[in-house]
Structure 1
Amino acid sequence: MKIEETPLKGCYLITPDIYQDERGLFFEHYHQKKLNTILPKDQFVQDNVSVSKKGVLRGIHFQKGDFAQTKLVSVLKGMVQDVVVDLRIDSNTFGQYHSVFLDDVKRHLLFIPRGFAHGFLALSNEVIFSYKCDNFYNKESEIGIVYNDADLNIKWQLPNDNLIVSRKDLGLPCLKELKI
């Protein structure tokens, strides 16, 4: 496993070793000992899977307070543009985003620490997306940033007319309107 820090401190792109032959392939999707330098002290407690069609944009979400989550995300099928936003007020990269492509070929994982908002855009006809979380979901603690926040100026990989965004996500505030 190769672990590389992204430009946003504490957020890591993980590249697994993939073993492939005529039967198919094998790789370690999660290995606690190999990831122990970046894993939170608490173990992951919840796994989530979402299925999306091309153009679906999910996010940009996070949970605040006692329900903040560290996430380990990956794509089981398809391809996404994954985006994280640093919301740690004391961070040198507060308010900056990082974008990476995750797919079912390279099988990268993205480690997202607490204090980050997260979203993704489905770029293939079907996406199966996996999230490991170190804290349980709490609806009252969920908040987010609108995907088209002018200050963030995220360069999404599909035209705005091709995006499928939920009403809830369309109603999210801009970063400067958040009280973190």
Structure 2
Amino acid sequence: MSTAPRAPGDYSTVSDPERALKYAIRHIAGDRTEIIEGVITPVSSSWAHESAAEVVRRQLAPRLDQLGLVAGSGDLDLPGSENWYVPDLAVVPADLAAKTEGALLPDQTLLIVEVTSPSNAETDRLVKRRRYGQYGAPLYLLIDRQNRTCTLYSEPTRPGYAAESGPHAFGTPVRLPAPFDLRLDTTRL
């Protein structure tokens, strides 16, 4: 029995398109590529963007050492969706990070930090906030460089997050709850 040849670009017989798309991102597109609601998006950060993430990372560092946690920007998979994120910063247990070669899930994090850029601000404010909550990320800190504010979302739920602290103007300390129990200085963001 022979089958008719497929036309180039006909992927109608791919058994698991989500898996194929995420495989392509991980193995072909490069380390800093996201899929946001099915749209392949290369991640390219400015120095100001990276600086804001570093301000948070440095303040967290002493507490992370005490708690056995690490901060990085590794891949996060949102299974059952066409989403694959590369957060600006995610805090995870050090032992989990050390043994994970692939992506983690948002509910395996303790904190996710996204820093807006002019090209992605609405995505970070709306889409990622909703998705991180749906996938159980306990804390989502949005550093909105365009509005010069920080907002901490907590209590993940199916529609997103049930609790919100902020927006706080840059320069106003933002309290990170347990296990961090620290006040984040936002002056230099």
Using structure 1 for the length normalisation, give the TM-score: 0.28
Larger relative contact order (Cα-Cα within 8 Å, sequence gap ≥ 6): 1
| Higher helix content, 1 or 2 | 2
Larger Rg: 2
| Higher strand content, 1 or 2 | 1
